[in-house]
Chains A and B, each alone.
Chain A
Amino acid sequence: MSAKPRRLSTPPQQVAVTVYVDNEVIVAYPGETVASVLIVSGREVFFQPEETYSSSRLYCNMGTCMQCLVTINQRPRRRACQTYIEPDMRIETHS
C-alpha cells in the first residue's frame, strides 16, 4: 500500500539526497524535515516506544508535544519534526 501522506510535487531529481532510515536508503529533498520524509515513505508509526510511552508518531509538528522522538546520527531523542534532513543522515525509528 502506498503511503497516505504525499508530496504535493516532486522537486527535480538533481536536488535529491539520500538518507538512511533503519538502514534502508530513502530519497529526500533539502528543506524537508525528518518527520516529513518518514511519513511520505510510509512510516507513520516511527517510534516504537519504551514501555511507559503510548504509541507515538507525528502529532503537533511544531516541536511541542515530543511524540516524534527518533535517533538521528546516533543521537537519541531528537525531534523528527524539528530536524532538517542532511545528506547521508542516519535515522533510526526503532520499528
Chain B
Amino acid sequence: MNPVQVDMAVIGGGPAGMMAAIAAARCGAHVALIDCRDRLGGNYYKQLRVQGSPHGHESAANEDDEFGRMRTALQEAGVERLQGDAVWGVFQGQGPTFREGPIDAVDFNLQLDSPQSSRALEAKTLVLAPGVYDRPWPFPGWTLPGVISPGGAQLLLENQGVVPGRRILVAGTGPLLMAVAASLAASGAEVVGLLETAGALDGWKHVPLALRGQWKRVQEAWSYLRILRHHRVPIRLRHAVFKAHGDGILERVVFGQVDANGRPMPHSAQEMVIDTLCFAYGFLPDISLTQHLGCDHRFDPDLRAHVPRHNERMETSTTGVFVAGDVTGIGGKDLARLQGRIAGLAAAHSLDFITSEEFEVEMRALRPQVENEVGFRDALWHRFRMRPGLIDLTEEDTIVCRCEAVPLAAMRAVIERGFQDLTGIKHQTRSGMGPCQGRYCNTIVAEILARQTSCPIDEIELMKVRPPLMPVEASHIG
C-alpha cells in the first residue's frame, strides 16, 4: 500500500497542533493532523464525555467556544485528521531502517499505529506538538494505588464525571495544583490539604513584570483561592509528602516541611489518613519525538529537564522539523496557540506557500504577544521550579523505574560499578526499557547520577531514544 503524502504532518491534537495545522492549511499546504488520542483537544480542551458531569470553572464555556471554532476551522481549511493514530517512528525515505543519528533530508516517513491498523504517511515538513505530562517524584510508597497525577485527576473529574476519592490530599508544585484542588473540593470530595514546595516569597521579584497584561490569570488564580477558602482547604507552603503507606492501597501519608531547595525536614513530619493523593512536581516535556529526530535540546534549570531548542520561527536544529506548545517549556494554552500559528506559518513558508514578506507581516503581530507570554512563563516556572533536594526522600528500596520495578539501590550499585551515563545505567538495570520508555524515570535517574558522581546535572547526556516510541503490536511492524 502506498503511503499518503502530505506537505506537512502535525503531531499532537492540542491547542498548538490545531493552530499549526489551521495556519499552514490556510496558506494552501496539504496538512495531516495526527493525534494519538481518541478525541481532539489535547490535555487542555476537555470535552464533556459523560452526561451530567460538571465543568471545572467559569471560563469553561469560553473554552468550549474557542475549541469549537478551531474544530470548524480545521475542517474548513481541509486538514486531514488522523485521530487515534500514534506515531511510533519517523524514518527517512522509504520506511523503517533503525538507523541512528539525525535525519537531514526533508522527507519524513511516519509510521503510525492504532488499535485497528498500522499505516505510513510521508511528509515534507513536521510540526511536533507532543505536550507535557505530570512529573512524579519517587518517595516511599509513591507507586501505591490511590496515588494519581493531578492532571489525571482533573481529566477524570472534568471529562469523565468521576471523583477519584473521598479524602484527598493534593501535593507537589505548580499552578495546576490549585485548580485541581478547587475542582475536587467543589465536586464534594474532602480535600484535606494542598502542599506546595514553593515558599510564599519565591520569585516575588519577577511578579510585577510578569503579570503585566495577565489579569485574566490573576482572576483565575483568585477564583481558585476563593473556592479553596470556602471549603476550608488548608494551603501549606514549603511542604511536601515524605512517604505514603498502605496495605496494597494508599491509606495514609507522612508529610512535612521542606527547605528552599526541597530538602525534607524530618523533625516536622506529621501523619494524615487519606485515600487519594494527587501529586506532581510540575510537568515534563515529552521529548521522545524531538530526541528521536536528532534535534538539539537545552537543559532548563528551573524545570530541571531538557526542552528542544528552537529559533524564533519554531524550527529545531533538524531541518524541516518545527516544534510548538508546552514541549518547548510549559507556557500554557495561549503561548501554545501562538507558537502553533508561528510553526504552521514557518513550515508553510519553508515550502513556499507564502512569501518572506507575508511571513514577516504575521511575525510582526505575533512577536510582542509571544514575548509577553514567555516572560510570564519563565517567571511562573522559576517560582514553581523543580527542587533537587527532594531526592533525599528517595530511599534505597524506593522504586525509581516503575515499569521495570527498579529500586534506587540497584541504580546506585550500577553507578558504583562504573556505569556513569544514562544509557549504561539503562542497559544494566533495565530502567527506562519498559512500556513508558523512560518518560517517567529518565530525569530521576539523571538526578541520582548527578548526586552520586557530583557531576553537574546539565552536563549529563540525554539517553538515546530508539523506535518504537510507543508499544506497538509486533504484527504491525512490517
Contact = CB atoms under 8 A, between A and B. Distances in A.
Contacts of A12: 51
A31 B49 contact: yes
Contact of B405 (A53, A57, A75): A53
Interface residues of A, number: 42
Nearest to A57: B145
B434 A59 contact: no
Q: Which of A9, A60, A64, A69 has the most CB of B within 10 A?
A: A64
A6 interface: yes
Interface in A42-77: 44-45, 52-55, 57-67, 69, 75, 77
A60 to B, nearest CB: 5
A60 B149 contact: yes
A45 to B, nearest CB: 5
B409 to A, nearest CB: 15
Contact of A59 (B148, B155, B157, B165): B148
B417 to A, nearest CB: 21
Contacts, number: 132
B40 to A, nearest CB: 14
B152 A62 contact: yes
Contacts of B471: 66, 77
B402 A65 contact: yes
Interface in A29-43: 29, 31-33, 36, 39-40
Contacts of A58: 145, 148, 152
B145 A8 contact: no
A29 B148 contact: no
A82 B156 CA distance: 12
B249 A45 contact: yes
B152 A4 contact: no
Given A55-B144, A55-B248, A63-B37, A8 B403 contact: no
A9 B54 CA distance: 9
Given A64-B440, A66-B403, 7 more contacts: A8-B187, A11-B52, A45-B248, A54-B402, A62-B133, A62-B149, A78-B115
Interface of A: 4-12, 15, 29, 31-33, 36, 39-40, 44-45, 52-55, 57-67, 69, 75, 77-78, 81-84
Nearest 8 interchain pairs by C-beta? A61-B152, A66-B435, A31-B49, A57-B145, A54-B405, A9-B52, A64-B133, A31-B50
